[in-house]
Amino acid sequence: MNTNYLSVNDYDYHLPEELIARYPLATRSASKLMYVANQGIEDKKFTDLPSLLNPGDLLVFNDTKVMKARLFGQKDTGGKVEVLVERLTDDEAFTNGNAHVALCHVRASKAPKLGQILNLADNAIQCSMIGRHENLFILAFNAPILPDLEKHGELPIPPYFERHADDTDNERYQTVFHDPNKLASVAAPTASLHFDDDVLKSLKTKGINSAFVTLNVGAGTFAPVKTDNLLEHTMHSEYAHLPQSTADLINETHARGNKVIAVGTTVTRVLETAYQKTVKERQSKDNNIAAWSGDTNIFIYPGFEFGVVDRLITNFHLPKSTLLMLVSAFADKQKMMSAYEHAIKSGYRFFSYGDSMLLDRVIK
């Protein structure tokens, strides 16, 4: 076996177009739930989730909120332009003395030149191109960015929806528990979109605990792997925060023999990054995770050793995506590919507005 080469093609599958969920169901928790247990696959409903967990278990959610980050307009030369605000920044390495700066994706027939003015949202917003950072444009805006985005922007629903966002998306492409002060993501933590107040109440009644982390999801979550060898893929960076209160609950949960369930791949990436930073790198003898904040570009693929997450709630992911590689690392690649085959034959709905899965971690 060549340990220096892992083929991206091993994570490919054919998905019929009709199984892509381009709109949400009428009710958040009405989706199916595939339970991929160590013993096999079980077809459930999402409302069955409390029955699959134990009192004292801990669910960890991502409390980020999605920005209305997509703007349309023209360059000062008249050409059409689309801007997707990836991240607001006050880092002096990018701002060059400007007050309202963001790292952005820009789509236009010709890329804007240094100093060029962009007129967006029917001229309600102006910005100028002041630099480049990797594949992003550094744009300086003429006013505070978030209020203008909320007023004039469009929610950046996934490209595979093949449509513009509507009023339904403004509600349903946000979690019911998002923190309005954490308005910084350009994609939703979609595993959490299934949770409504009734499901959360049922979980609490059963004695299942909950906690929160933050990961500001970037557009890179939709970026395809462009290398044949996945080991040559460079992951995008996203800001993450694990508060000490959540770290304490995780440590207490494991100490009494209960399980930590990550709600989504974003939570998984936060917890496993924090574990590496606060346990492995510090060679912590008690194995207790601690608070951590910073950028993470962790790439989880088969062979990864998990330190925190015992079970994972997730949606179905795009072919050849880093997220499919993550769940394959968690629950065994062959088992995951068989589960996807079962999902397609059984008519499960795929991707952000699709159905869900509960995965048991494979211990090797």
Q: How many domains, in total, are found in the chain?
A: 2
- Asked, for residue 353, whether it belongs to a domain, the answer is yes
**Domain shared by 201 and 343, yes or no:** yes
pLDDT at 333 over 50: yes
Does residue 2 surpass a pLDDT of 60? no
Q: Which residue's structure tokens are 């952000």?
A: 352
Instruction: Tell me: do 174 and 269 sit in the same domain.
Output: yes
Task: For helices 322-331 and 333-345, give the axis angle rounded to 10 degrees.
Answer: 110
285: domain range? 8-66+170-360
Buried b (16+ CB within 10 A) or exposed e, 312-329: bbbbbbbebbbbbbbbbb
Statement to judge: residues 130 and 277 lie in one domain: no
Pick from 49, 84, 305, 317: which is nearest to 195 by CA? 49
Residue 238 confidence (pLDDT): 95
User: What pTM does this model have?
Assistant: 0.96
Q: What is the 3-state secondary structure (H, E, C) of 186-234?
A: CCCCHHHHHCCHHHHHHHHHCCCEEEEEEECCCHHHHCCCCCCEHHHCC
Q: Is the pLDDT of residue 38 over 80?
A: yes
Q: What is the mean pLDDT of the chain?
A: 95
Same domain, 50 and 75: no
Tell whether 53 and 118 lie within a shared domain. Answer: no
* pLDDT of 45 higher than 80: yes
Residues 8, 228: contact at Cβ < 8 Å?
yes
> Which of the four pLDDT bands, split at 50, 70 and 90, describes residue 1?
very low
Give the tens place of pLDDT for each residue, 187-244. 999 999 999 999 999 999 999 999 999 999 998 777 778 889 988 988 888 999 999 9
Distance of alpha carbon 325 from alpha carbon 271, whole angstroms: 17
| Domain identity same for 246 and 223 | yes
Of 88, 123, 152, the domain-final residue: 152
Token pair recorded at residue 225: 């792997």
Q: What percent of the chain has pLDDT over 70?
A: 99
Same domain, 61 and 75: no
Both 125 and 198 in a single domain?
no
Task: Indicate which CATH number applies to the domain containing 265.
Answer: 3.40.1780.10
Please report whether residue 158 resides in a domain.
Answer: no
Looking at the fold, whether 56 and 115 belong to one and the same domain comes out as no
pLDDT in tens, 11-32: 999 999 999 999 999 999 999 9
CATH number (domain holding residue 133): 2.40.10
pLDDT at residue 308 in the model: 98
Confidence band (pLDDT; 50, 70, 90) for 4? confident
Same domain? For 91 and 45 the reply is no
Identify whether 3 is part of a domain.
Answer: no
What average pLDDT does the segment 330-341 reach? 97
pLDDT in tens, 259-307: 999 999 999 999 999 999 999 888 877 899 999 999 999 999 999 999 9
Residue 193, CB-side half-sphere exposure with 13 Å CA sphere: 27
- Judge if 228 and 350 occupy the same domain: yes
Kindly state the tokens that stand for 328: 């394959």
State whether 291 and 323 are in the same domain.
Answer: yes
